[in-house]
């Protein structure tokens, strides 16, 4: 059996961004498709607002204050890409709160079932660093979820897999000096924000626990899936996380107007199946946190495909995947996957 929980909140539509591609239309498109499919049978719940203490476990109080005060004044621009409106602070609280509630549902769920959950909110989060909102992101939702799992969920180690076309620089920044979170990112490079080169493997106690897998523009299904199958999954077997979280962006889709990669609907289905298989193999829960994706139809289909695959009652099959040269190079950089073993 599979336990499936979906977190959402109407405040996601109150984060107004005008003509910006990260707009309320994204959530509307996703929910229209899912509601037409009767939410794929998932248990749909309203997310709570995140407690301030949970956000401040990742971001300093001054950062939270800036977002709250800017929204209270009616909003404004943080940078050319990042907009705050009067409804943004509440939306951001629920986006973080949904990610926290997702973790609680996963870790409190039936232990004899495969547990999957998704937090479908905006604004997204993976570009938000410790002290800076940027790249459409205000609070780093997946990082807040990971920290909550470690502090309150009994998790010893968390794995974050980021397949958004943009590097999750904020998540990388937050955990770069720690070994209790393994961060793996497949992203187009060069592309905004210009970080995530292969030599960035973390620092100090976190050295070896950031796995950055940059791919050139034009990369498609075979590249992304090989990196997941031949690099990310073997790393997970060594690391043995208590929970796996996906920063699920859909802007690597061939139809996306911002990214330059060529992943298809079938590619996202295979990538989702790979992560479902990983969770089953490790016997751990799997959480999905929405990030980017700016072609509305491709985004909505991608989310629906991911939920259908990871939430299936039977194990989805995986196609045979050849080792792509980029995966082979990554394995060589990681010394065949024999990088530092967990210290706790």
Cβ–Cβ < 8 Å for 166, 191: yes
CATH number of 2-337: 3.40.800.20
Cβ–Cβ < 8 Å for 201, 335: no
pLDDT-based confidence at residue 2 (cuts at 50, 70, 90) = confident
**Positive or negative: CA dihedral 85, 167, 223, 281:** negative
Backbone φ and ψ of 79, nearest 5°: -150, -175
Distance CA 122, CA 129 (A): 17
SS3 231: helix
C-alpha dist (Å) from residue 101 to 60, 110, 286, 319, 340: 21, 15, 13, 33, 31
Catalytic residues: 127
Query: By mean pLDDT, which of 38-47, 109-118, 306-315, 331-340 is the weakest?
Result: 331-340
Q: What is the pLDDT of residues 221-251, one digit of tens each?
A: 999 999 999 999 999 999 999 999 999 999 9
Packing angle between helix 61-72 and helix 88-108, nearest 10 degrees? 130
Domain boundaries, the chain: 2-337
What pTM, to 2 d.p., does this model score? 0.97
């Amino acid at each position: 059996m599979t336990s499936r929980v979906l977190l959402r909140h109407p405040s996601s539509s109150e984060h107004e961004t005008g003509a910006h591609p990260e707009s309320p239309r994204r959530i509307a498109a996703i929910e229209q498709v899912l509601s037409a499919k009767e939410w794929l049978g998932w248990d749909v719940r309203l997310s709570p607002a995140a407690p301030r203490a949970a956000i401040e476990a990742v971001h300093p109080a001054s950062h939270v204050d800036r977002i709250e005060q800017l929204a209270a004044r009616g909003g404004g621009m943080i940078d050319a890409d990042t907009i705050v409106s009067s409804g943004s602070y509440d939306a951001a609280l629920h986006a973080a709160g949904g990610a926290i509630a997702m973790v609680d549902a996963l870790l409190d769920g039936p232990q004899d079932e495969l547990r999957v959950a998704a937090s479908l909110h905006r604004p997204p989060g993976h570009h938000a660093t410790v002290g800076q909102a940027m790249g459409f992101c205000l609070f780093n939702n997946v990082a807040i979820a990971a920290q909550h799992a470690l502090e309150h969920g009994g998790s010893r180690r968390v794995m974050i897999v980021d397949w958004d076309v943009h590097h999750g620089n904020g998540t990388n920044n937050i955990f770069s000096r720690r070994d209790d979170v393994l961060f793996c990112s497949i992203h187009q490079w060069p592309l905004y924000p210009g970080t995530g080169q292969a030599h960035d493997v973390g620092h100090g106690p976190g050295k070896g626990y950031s796995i950055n897998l940059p791919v050139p523009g034009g990369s498609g299904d075979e590249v992304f899936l090989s990196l997941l199958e031949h690099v990310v999954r073997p790393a997970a077997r060594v690391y043995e996380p208590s929970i796996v979280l996906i920063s699920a962006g859909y802007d690597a889709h061939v139809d996306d107007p911002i990214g330059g990669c060529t992943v298809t609907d079938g590619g996202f289905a295979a990538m989702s199946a790979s992560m479902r298989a990983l969770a089953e193999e490790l016997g751990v829960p799997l959480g999905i946190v929405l990030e980017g994706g700016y072609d509305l139809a491709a985004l909505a289909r991608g989310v629906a495909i991911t939920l259908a695959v990871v939430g299936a009652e039977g194990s989805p099959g995986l196609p045979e995947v050849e080792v792509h040269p980029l995966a082979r190079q990554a394995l060589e950089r990681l010394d065949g996957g024999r990088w530092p073993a967990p210290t706790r």
